[in-house]
Amino acid sequence: MHVSLERVNSLIEEHQVVAIDLKYADLVGNWYHITFPPRRLEHVLEHGIPFDGSSIPGMKSVEAGDMVLLPDPATAIIDPFASTPTLRMLSYICDADTREGVNKDPRTVANRAHDYMLASGIADTSLWVPEFEFYLFNEAVINNGKYSAGYKFTSAENKDDLPGGYLDADGTAVAHRKGYHIDTPFDKYAHVREDMVQLIEGIGCPVRYHHHEVGLSGQQEIETELLPFELITDKMMYVKDVIHNCALKHNLTATFMPKPMYDEPGNGMHFHIQLRKGGRNIFYEKGAYADLSEQALCFIGGILKHGRSLTAFTNPSTNSYKRLLPGFEAPVKLFFGLANRSAAIRIPKYATSEEAKRIEFRTSDGTCNYYLAMSALLMAGLDGIRNRILPNEANSFGPFDDNIFDWPEDRQNSLESIPESLEEALEALQDDHEYLMAGGVFNGELIDSWIQEKMKEVLAVRNRPHPFEMNLYYSL
């Protein structure tokens, strides 16, 4: 804390900071903030900032709403978008009396998950690579009312989706092809991604690469290097904020929505995971299947066994299940395989060395609360190691290296499927969450509140007429 505070004071002096902005996440992952002058820093570090937790969805009841925000000086950065010199810090949501992180504070849950891993003795380091997939649209017009509803997204990259008034006079918009790794000048927003990457690296989050994704209407990907769990969970919140704000600065709009457009590629958020102990990659065993150790296989087995309930945290939107459709790269069956993009867990074929060997969970998407989704994945994997849940053909978890959609239908049906809707995922979580409760990492209060808040979204979507229903039923 002392070293971090010295760094904060140094940043304040060096950049002539006039405001300190505290950020915190609610249960579903929305960001909130409160700002104070730098002269109050020591007071706030000691006493925190009180606030009404009952005003934050899913956080606390009106009867017991008093909470405090306690800043974490280790997360301090200079705000790259503020009009005046501003320092940002992430906060813990703490009980007003005990000053301990509350049961439903996402950052506190992630801390507990990391501590549980350390206490288990299984590993002392958990390394992660998140893949940020998102669309950059020129326009996003959204309307939901009683008498009309609809949306319109446009992209200057796609001849079939041009913005209003844009004539594509230079002929650089394209059509009838995939956008994956498309080169400039057709990759119109490579410079925007580069601006994002410079800002992301500037906040201490190293980027592995960035490129245009498959979606021709401005789909992008930015992937980080392997980073420790306790660091990347915070950095991801900053990265998402950079992407949104940098897009706006370039007169664009960004979305991580899993399936913003019908019959176009969806946005996933793949997580690469590796565990180490004493500096050694415990997932690596030369000569075994895909050079994976038994601990790696059991970690995979734990995730697959709990895969249906995990989707309540890794794919927590009604829109998530419009991306997860059979026949596409978004996986719908719970199995693993080497280089298999139809698998829920893919073993990257290019990661052959002990240093690089890892697994890739491909089901998740960017609507998740990073703290909770990654904590849940870690807990499921550790449960697999603790209970020696080995994936094999007997439990239909694989490995399978071929395209399962080429299999006969009865064989496909023998594999465990992910839920087909958010409601089904929440039901799975209700039935299977004990593995999350180990070590007090998750708790009943959080699980109950999560299900309640997410069911509100289910009902909000279910209760509204869908535009395509007009095509189906209006004239009957």
Q: So which residues are the catalytic ones? A: 52, 131, 133, 213, 221, 270, 341, 360, 362
Strand spans (E) along 148-224: 149-154, 207-212, 219-224
Burial class (CB in 10 A: 0-12, 13-18, 19+), 349: exposed
Q: What is the residue type of 212?
A: H
The DSSP call for residue 267 is P
275, 276, 281, 282: CA torsion to nearest 10: -70
CB atoms within 10 A of CB 439: 15
Rounded CA separation 156/138 (Å): 7
Lookup: tokens for 235: 């950095």
Q: What is the residue type of 113?
A: A
SS3 content of the chain, % helix, strand, coil (to 5): 40, 25, 40
Burial class (CB in 10 A: 0-12, 13-18, 19+), 79: buried
Which distant-in-sequence residues (6+ apart) come within 8 Å of 377 by Cβ? 271, 273, 303, 310, 314, 361, 364
Rounded CA separation 357/272 (Å): 10
Lookup: tokens for 382: 């550790």
How open is the CA angle 415-417-423, to the nearest 5 degrees?
160
The answer to whether the beta carbons of residues 305 and 435 sit under 8 Å apart is: no
Residues β-bridged to residue 345: 336, 361
| Distance in angstroms between the alpha carbons of the first and the last residue of the chain | 68
In 3-state terms, what secondary structure has residue 103?
A: coil
The answer to whether the beta carbons of residues 186 and 171 sit under 8 Å apart is: no
Lookup: tokens for 146: 């009683």
Lookup: tokens for 424: 């089904």
Quick check: bond before 185 cis, omega within 30? yes
In 3-state terms, what secondary structure has residue 312?
A: helix
Residue found under tokens 């709009």:
253
